[in-house]
Amino acid sequence: MFKKFAVLFYSIFVLNLVSAQHGEPTAEGVSATTELSEKDKVSKENKEFIDHHLLDAHDFTLMVDKEGHHIGFPLPVIFYDNGIRAFMSNKEGFMHGETTEVDGSYYKLHHEKIYKTDAAGTLAFDKEGHVTSEKVLDLSITKSVLIILLTSIFMLVLFTGMAKSYKKSAVPTGATRFLEPLVIFVRDEIAIPNIGHKYKRFIGYLLTVFFFILFLNVLGLMPFGINVTGNITMTFFLAILTYLITTFSANKDYWKHIFWMPGVPVPMKLIMLPIELLGTITKPFALMIRLFANMTAGHIVVMSLIGLIYVFKNFVAGVAFPFLTLVIYLLEVLVAFLQAYIFTMLSALFIGMAVQEHEHEHHAAH
């Protein structure tokens, strides 16, 4: 549903842009042309703002003033190019796409990627407009990396304190009172039903991934351009963790059902073998795309609604779009919890399929 909303509002922007470019001159002539070009400019600025919000960044911007100055703080830029190069992102001209000299070599930031260039800042492009200049190995502490580190430290402190509190008293106190129901929910409603009596081996991972995604999703609702779970690299590595745990924890029954499915004729076994092998890859792929697409689409919808206020600039837009933004934003709060639950539940389901003992179940049935 979110993806449909995202397509809808991007379509509105495009239609508005087309009408601004191809609209017929009115009786006012010059004033009508000025108005259309202004809408064109606002639509373009809105799209650029949305793209900037969704992308990772080498600095942390808290807000932008009326003059367009970014208010925030710099982050360490670290990359490898015949040795480790490092400097802060507020180095003169770096964040503005200007040429930056480091130890006699020249580099340029283009769409949050660092390229080698010359003193003039020349970049080579192909016919599709993609940069073909050499990229460096970027190891920077970007905005997303910073949030991941801070969230990890926060979780470590929070749950270490929670564990210590239970040594003093079985009655939860402080933040533990709010976290305990969620921990019990993950254990009783996700881990045990999907994994069974072996759940204790995997409950640590399930709790970690649930709260990690939940905290990142909630931070993504803040107006600071934090979009970690909307970064496909992040969701890819979370899905890879589930895949590795599933693969290395799987028992012989799991692999038997993949490579030589029991109770099936030999010709069908040969047909099912590649399908089952492909299924082991499509499962983590579904985890990756589901979380990435839903969180990204949610951000696009909210920001598109806000942007439409500045495009239409009338009373109806000033009332309708803020109301719709509030409704979608509240829905995003629900989605933040829902996506953490779905990712954890599917991870537990895949793990449970890998560790369940089919032979024992058949004997028990007889």
Residue-level pLDDT, tens digit, the chain, 366 residues: 444 444 444 444 433 433 333 434 444 444 444 445 666 676 676 666 666 667 788 888 777 666 666 778 889 999 998 889 998 988 888 888 888 888 888 899 888 889 999 888 888 888 888 888 889 999 999 999 999 999 999 999 999 988 888 888 777 777 788 889 999 999 999 999 999 888 999 999 999 999 999 999 999 888 777 888 888 889 999 999 999 999 998 888 877 777 777 777 778 778 778 888 888 888 889 889 988 888 888 878 877 777 777 777 766 767 777 888 788 888 888 888 999 999 999 999 999 988 887 554 444 444
Domain C-terminal end among 117, 141, 165: 141
Tokens linked to 64: 């932008």
Same-domain check for residues 170 and 319: yes
Whether 183 and 331 share a structural domain: yes
Q: Are residues 276 and 342 in the same domain?
A: yes
Bridging pattern class, strands 70-74 and 59-64: antiparallel
**Residue 247: Cβ within 10 Å count:** 14
Query: Does the model's pTM come out above 0.85?
Result: no
- ∠ CA 147-149-151, nearest 5°, is 65
Q: Report yes or no on 195 lying in a domain.
A: yes
Q: How far apart are the C-alpha atoms of 315 and 209, rounded to whole Å?
A: 44
Q: Show the domain range for 348.
A: 145-360
**The pLDDT value given to residue 17:** 39
Residues 6+ apart with CB under 8 A from 294: 2, 3, 335, 339
Which of 82, 106, 141 represents a domain boundary (last residue)? 141
Considering the domain architecture, whether residues 109 and 160 belong to the same structural domain is answered as no
Q: How many residues does the chain have?
A: 366
Residues 166 and 130 in one domain: no
Question: Of 141, 166, 194, which marks where a domain is finished?
Answer: 141
E strand spans, the chain: 59-64, 70-74, 76-80, 84-88, 100-102, 105-110, 113-117, 137-138
Number of domains in the chain: 2
**One domain, residues 159 and 85:** no
Contact 33, 19 (CB under 8 A): no
Q: Are 2 and 297 in contact (CB under 8 A)?
A: yes
Give a yes or no: residue 122 inside a domain: yes
Q: What is the pLDDT of residue 213?
A: 95
- pLDDT given at position 15: 39
Q: Please give the pLDDT value at position 237.
A: 93
Which single residue is written with the structure tokens 């190891």?
Answer: 139
What pLDDT sits at residue 8? 44
Do β-strands 105-110 and 113-117 pair in parallel, antiparallel, or remain unpaired?
antiparallel
In this structure, the answer to whether residues 297 and 281 fall within a common structural domain is yes
Looking at the domain assignment, is residue 2 inside a domain?
A: no
Q: Do 280 and 225 share a structural domain? A: yes
Give the helix/strand (H/E) hosting 48.
helix 30-54
What CA–CA distances, in Å, run from 23 to 19, 30, 127, 147? 5, 13, 30, 45
